[in-house]
Structure 1
Amino acid sequence: MRERFIERKFVEAVKKKGGFAPKFVSPGLDGMPDRIVLFSIGKIAFVELKAPGETMRPLQVRRKRQLEELGFSVYCVDDISQIDNVIKEIGGDAR
């Protein structure tokens, strides 16, 4: 299973729950997560998507820590079985 497949499934699942998960690009700031996830009632989180068994690079881990210190949730998803739980934690079940 490739990262691209997991990413597509994640974006589709967020959309089904009424959210939006645009690709997150931050020129000049490497290591930022792949997607920013937005749900109603101001629920925001960041998600790094990986192929099964892959882990975040050291710079990505530092960016995750920086975002968490600012109060944001950051998730790493490397299997489609994690998608529903991550969406629920972010607030995708709130309406």
Structure 2
Amino acid sequence: MLGIQHTLELSNGLVVNNAFSRVEEISGTPQWLTFTLKSYVSREMADSQREPLIQEVFGFAPDLNEGQPNFFQQAYNQLKTMEAYQDAVEITE
């Protein structure tokens, strides 16, 4: 997956429709991983290496069993469990 498209509400109340966010960093241990989600006005802004509007750090316990998605997909799956990202649309191309 390349990222997600969603409505993003910033802490100042500004709402960005069709914001583009992607997991750009994952680190941790087999018991706990943290990932950085960077959000941009659009995919074009992300692809042109502009500064993100916001960076958020989340964590989860990864599933290390054989046949499970890679850590990036698991991070996106974790996001979908959060209210702010439940309506996000996966962008794969």
The reply to whether TM is greater than 0.5 is no
| Larger proportion of strand | 2
TM-score (normalizing by structure 1): 0.28
TM-score (normalizing by structure 2): 0.29
Query: Who wins on radius of gyration, i.e. which is larger?
Result: 2
